[in-house]
Amino acid sequence: MPSSLAFRDHDGTVSIRSDKDKATFEAGLRSFINEARILAKLQEHADHPSLVKVFRFWESHGTAYMAMPFYEGRTLKETLLAMDTAPSEEWLRALLYQLIDALTILHKENCLHRDIAPDNILILKDGRALLLDFGAARKVIRNKELTVILKHGYAPIEQYASESSTEQGPWTDIYALAAVIYFAITKEIPQSSAKRIRKDSLIPLNRRAKNQYSEKFLQLIDKALAIEPSDRPQTVHEFRSLLKATESNEHSQQKTSNKLSRKTLVGITLIVISSAIYYLSDKQTSPLSITTQPDLTKHTTLKELNLVSALEEIFDYRDRNHAVAVSVEKAQFKINKDQLNFKIHSSKPGYIYILAVDSSDSELSLFFPNEVDNKNYIAANEQIELPRGKWKLTSRGPAGTNHLIVIVSKHPRDFISTGLQQDDFFGHFPIEQLKVRYQNYSGSLPLLAGNAICTAATLSEPCSESYGAALFTLKEVNE
């Protein structure tokens, strides 16, 4: 929301400055919301670690908002400029593979990024590259300031053209990716495509960085930087295949140097259409110091899902100042005879969620709330007993130990990102689908902890993802 178009009143409401800007502002607002929907939809199909996540979005005070995780890191531009030496080919390949895979998901939804540049890629603490700033929402708004959308040196020629016959496509983002690699190697912004089409003075990397990187790798980047769209790889799948084909034993065996040293912060980021960003965290960090390459290659190793360990991971991320206790009357329950029951106490008010791993360690359920009992609020220092009312559970086996975790959250939580499915009674997590989501997940909190549901009404105070938790077991035995 450029200040030339709109302003924020004393009560926080956004108003346009002139009626002549109304259509432009509303078009941009619709586009912003559409981008939020696209990002949210992407998560439903593939929660890729290099795509930003959207918890929820809403309209309020005449504008729109998105709630997202707070990612801490340095931009790729800052990372590269702080390096003592040029990045290795292995490092650049790892960067490209992450971004190509993220774009694969984006392009499948018929969405182009159109604003890929070193300052729109974040390198996180763990070395992961995160694609930022989906700028299509601002394309209409900033048509008066084309340079904001068209980053000279990274935008291909088709982004400068207004004629509908000049089509943009996956090759548009591929050009920008190649320009990013050009900058990474030379620390210089490539000559803009608008100037290149008149007089191309861009020195190809195959000449500029000869003997520093493999010839085939440099040739591929030069090909992706072709002025004519038809001369570039046409899809990210083709680009990835060509990149894979250029690998050599020499560069596949290279080792990258030290990782970044940074502190991960947990929080919620609110992004307003005005592009103002509010970080809901009271933690401060000192400026980052980077003189070596962050490790981008570690993300090729996928995490294996162990259900009991996943519950322990939720417990490890609990708020230590929020005490939750569970008391079980019996040490063990006889199958087909004893009723399962336990008591929960919480030092703070909140909403109770209980996840349970069965005795075979192969099934995971949302034990509570459920179809029969969905009143899961607990007051501070209150104790409740479960099951209760019409909800009674008798031990049915098989023999073994059931592992459970109680979560008490300040705000209600949802488990949409886990693929939770509601059956007749309990909620169940489809294990095969969960394994894929778990392997690709890279959020600040454990995947199975769910996400806090913060509506506009609750945002009078910071939306907290924190929770208290307690682990316990229920052992079932044969008579």
Q: Which residue has the tokens 């935008």?
A: 155
Last-in-domain residue among 300, 319, 342: 300
Query: Is residue 321 located within the same domain as residue 387?
Result: yes
Bridge partners of 8, per DSSP, are: 14
Query: Is residue 60 located within the same domain as residue 181?
Result: yes
Predicted pLDDT of residue 113: 87
Q: What is the pLDDT of residues 319-332, one digit of tens each?
A: 888 999 998 877 78
For 94, phi and psi rounded to 5 degrees? -60, -40
Considering the domain boundaries, does residue 1 fall inside one?
no
Lowest-confidence region among 9-23, 43-57, 116-130, 171-185: 43-57
Query: Is residue 331 located within the same domain as residue 422?
Result: yes
Q: Is the pLDDT of residue 184 over 70?
A: yes
Considering the domain boundaries, does residue 370 fall inside one?
yes
For the purposes of burial, counting CB atoms within 10 Å of the CB of 267, is it exposed (0-12), middle (13-18) or buried (19 or more)? buried
Indicate the number of domains in the chain: 2
Q: At what angle do helices 215-224 and 89-108 cross, to 10 degrees?
A: 40
Query: Is residue 323 located within the same domain as residue 400?
Result: yes
Query: Is residue 251 located within the same domain as residue 142?
Result: yes
- At 161, the pLDDT band (50, 70, 90 cuts) reads confident
Predicted pLDDT of residue 460: 52
Last-in-domain residue among 300, 325, 347: 300
Query: Is residue 280 located within the same domain as residue 327?
Result: no
Higher-pLDDT residue of 178 and 423 is 178
Predicted pLDDT of residue 182: 97
Query: Is residue 213 located within the same domain as residue 142?
Result: yes
pTM tops 0.85, yes or no: no
Task: Supply the CATH number for residue 413's domain.
Answer: 2.60.40.2550
Considering the domain boundaries, does residue 260 fall inside one?
yes
Q: Is the pLDDT of residue 15 over 60?
A: yes
- At 102, the pLDDT band (50, 70, 90 cuts) reads confident
Residues 6+ apart with CB under 8 A from 386: 341, 342, 343, 344, 354, 368, 373
What's the whole-number average pLDDT of the chain? Answer: 79
For the purposes of burial, counting CB atoms within 10 Å of the CB of 281, is it exposed (0-12), middle (13-18) or buried (19 or more)? middle
Query: Is residue 287 located within the same domain as residue 435?
Result: no
Identify the CA nearest to 130 among candidates 139, 112, 138, 118: 118
| Buried b or exposed e, range 49-72, using 16+ CB within 10 angstroms | bbbbbbbbbeeeebbbbbbbbbbb
Considering the domain boundaries, does residue 58 fall inside one?
yes
Q: What is the pLDDT of residues 356-367, one digit of tens each?
A: 999 888 999 999
Q: What is the pLDDT of residues 246-295, one digit of tens each?
A: 885 444 444 333 333 322 223 333 333 332 222 222 333 323 333 456 66
What span, in angstroms and rounded, lies between the C-alpha atoms of 357 and 432?
15
Query: Is residue 467 located within the same domain as residue 384?
Result: yes
Query: Is residue 381 located within the same domain as residue 415?
Result: yes
Task: Supply the CATH number for residue 260's domain.
Answer: 1.10.510.10
Considering the domain boundaries, does residue 23 fall inside one?
yes
Lowest-confidence region among 71-80, 239-248, 271-280, 383-392: 271-280
Query: Is residue 203 located within the same domain as residue 348?
Result: no
pLDDT, average across residues 13-41: 77
**Domain limits at 268?**
6-300
Lowest-confidence region among 4-8, 85-89, 418-422: 4-8
Query: Is residue 75 located within the same domain as residue 210?
Result: yes
Considering the domain boundaries, does residue 227 fall inside one?
yes
Higher-pLDDT residue of 155 and 45 is 155
Last-in-domain residue among 246, 277, 300: 300
